[in-house]
Amino acid sequence: MARYAYVNGRYVDHREASVHIEDRGYQLADGVYEVVGVRDGRLIDEEPHLDRLDRSLRELRIGWPVARGTLSFIIRELMRRNRLRDGLIYMQVTRGVARRDHAFPTTPVKPALVLTTKNMKALAADPGPGVAVKSQPDIRWERCDIKSVALLPNVLAKQSARESGAYEAWLVDEAGCVTEGASTNAWIVTPEGELVTRQTDNGILAGITRGTLKVIATDLQLKFVERPFSLVEAKRATEAFVTSATSFVTPVVKIDGETVGNGKPGPTARRLREEYLRFADNGEAVT
């Protein structure tokens, strides 16, 4: 079956989909993106993702390439064409095509819009054995709250983690605190039973999965706290896990080769994963 991509107004064969070489996203990473998880034909948290896209665009003074309702339509049409059941929708907006110059184009340019889909195996409620993470210095810029396509530090951190056999990199700031993962938010459960994740500010991306889990954790009456936590504290935690639109809640059982808790996915991560899947299964099916 042919797979489609959406590129600036057209649904095209994915193998032939391309953008202009002077697209400012390609040349200058002058653009933003979103990833929305899809489970059993349902979009997970579509509206919060589009809200965050709106915020990222406003922060960079890039206009919407199409109306928000039109984007929702395109998402659904691409899902239908690609018969997407489980996986993700990727969407990217750049400032558009212009003669290369660091400053914004002085004549009006239409923002460029690209969407693709990816099929993935549906995640089970059972998290399996859990994953390892590797710490890395957080060398990113000071606007990590913007979901920009400028991801080189994240790419290098993830690659370094993968080369050492870890699933994810945990980024550590100058104070020795874990900010977040290369493409996930980071969480721990302390020996006192606090569920901790870093507060949202310009130092991390406000994950949509993180936001939904915050609501779920509050409903479950867990002791949820938003504050910085150090790498040392993380290594002494009873549980650790990461969250994102595509990994949901994934338990972390090793940090820099040191075992977390008893080395197995803990009860809090398991429970939150189950509850998150229940939430994801509740939406309206598209495909």
Of these residues, 110, 118, 134, 147, which one is catalytic?
147
The count of C-alpha atoms lying within 13 angstroms of the C-alpha of 184, restricted to the half-sphere facing its C-beta, is 23
Q: One-letter amino acid identity for 163?
A: E
Q: How far does CA 6 lie from the centroid of its chain?
A: 20
Selected binder of ligand PLP within 92, 94, 116, 183 (CB under 6 A): 183
Residue 180 interacting with ligand PLP (CB under 6 A): yes
Nearer to ligand PLP, 51 or 274 (CB): 51
The answer to the question of residue 205 lying near ligand PLP (CB under 6 A) is: yes
Binding mask 231-250 for ligand PLP (x = CB under 6 A): ------------xxx-----
Decide if 147 is catalytic: yes
Give the rounded distance of the alpha carbon of 215 from its chain centre.
18
Q: Among the residues of 95-228, which ranges form H helices?
A: 152-163, 208-219
Alpha carbons 91 and 113: distance in angstroms, whole number: 7
Task: Give yes or no for residue 56 binding ligand PLP (CB under 6 A).
Answer: no
Tell me how far, at minimum, the Cβ of 79 lies from ligand PLP, in Å: 18
Instruction: For ligand PLP, give the closer residue by CB, 113 or 204.
Output: 204
Question: What DSSP element (H or E) covers 69?
Answer: helix 68-81
CA distances (Å), origin 106, targets 23, 99, 100, 101: 15, 10, 12, 10
Residue 92 touching ligand PLP (CB under 6 A): no
Its sign, for the CA torsion 259, 129, 89, 277, is negative
The residue within the footprint of ligand PLP, chosen from 94, 116, 185, 250 (CB under 6 A), is 185
Is residue 172 a contact point for ligand PLP (CB under 6 A)? Answer: no
Determine which residue in the list 35, 149, 172, 231 makes contact with ligand PLP, applying CB under 6 A. 35
Which amino acid makes up residue 160? Answer: S
Residue 53 three-state SS: helix
Residues 36-55 that bind ligand PLP (CB under 6 A): none
Binding residues vs ligand PLP (CB under 6 A): 35, 180, 183-185, 205, 207-210, 243-245
Q: Which residues are catalytic?
A: 147
